[in-house]
Each structure stands twice: as C-alpha cells, then as structure tokens.
Amino acid sequence: MEARDPELKKELDATLRARHELGAEYEPALVESFLEKIEQRLDGTVDVRVRREMAERQMAAARGNAKPGQGEGFGERFGFGVISLILAIPLSAIAAVNADIQGLVVCWLGIFGVNAVHASRGLPWIPGRRRRRSSDWEE
C-alpha cells in the first residue's frame, strides 16, 4: 500500500516507534496525539475545499450562470408557502374587520400575487428572464 501523504506516514512511523520505546501504558496518549494530527489535516483539507467551492459559486453567481441545485430548493419554497399561509390568517382578519369583503379580497389578491411572483422566479418562459441552455447544466 502506497502512502498518499508522506508527512502523515512519517508521523505514524514516529508514533509507532515511540509506542515501542515507551511501552503500552503510553499508547492511549500516543494514539490520541496521532488522531489529533489526522483531524487537523482533515480540517485543513475540508477548509480548502469549502473555500474553493464558495469561490466557484461566487464566480458563477457573478457571471450569472449558477449551477443547478445552487438556487432555492423545495425546502425554501415550502417554507415560503407555509409562512405566507400563517401570515394570511391575521392579515385576513384585519382586512375583513377594517374593509369588509373588499378588504378581504384585496388581501388575498396580495397574498396570491406575492406567492405567484415567488413561485415564478427563475422560470425560463417569464419575459426578461434568460433561458437556460443545455450547456448551462453541464459542470
């Protein structure tokens, strides 16, 4: 088996030599120390990957060609719908008390309008929106 990281292999060899020289009573401390080094290495690698991905997303957003899956998902749309329905209850009550049926109709037209605009974001057939080409979906 070939080591992918020569520095980590050196650390493992040093840990095993130290365990051999110090004895089994120091084994937990040596293993803990080695695992901390591995964890630090993994954290550094993940940090670099996350930063790279964030930079790529920012560049894609700046160019206006975000990849699929980076926009809103089902959870965001569902949450928006639920919140708008929850807010519709007190708004309907206020509108009905203050302006009778006309106020209630205006209130529900507003709620419908906000939800329709939110649902139509990013749809290619809306005027003024850029149509996605098949090359936009490729990575």
Q: What's the pLDDT at 109? A: 93
Q: What's the pLDDT at 73? A: 67
The C-alpha atoms of residue 80 and residue 136 are separated, in whole angstroms, by: 27
Q: What's the pLDDT at 23? A: 84
The pTM assigned to this predicted structure is 0.40
Q: What's the pLDDT at 63? A: 80
Mean pLDDT in runs of 10 for the chain (139 residues)? 73 87 86 86 85 86 63 72 87 89 92 86 58 45
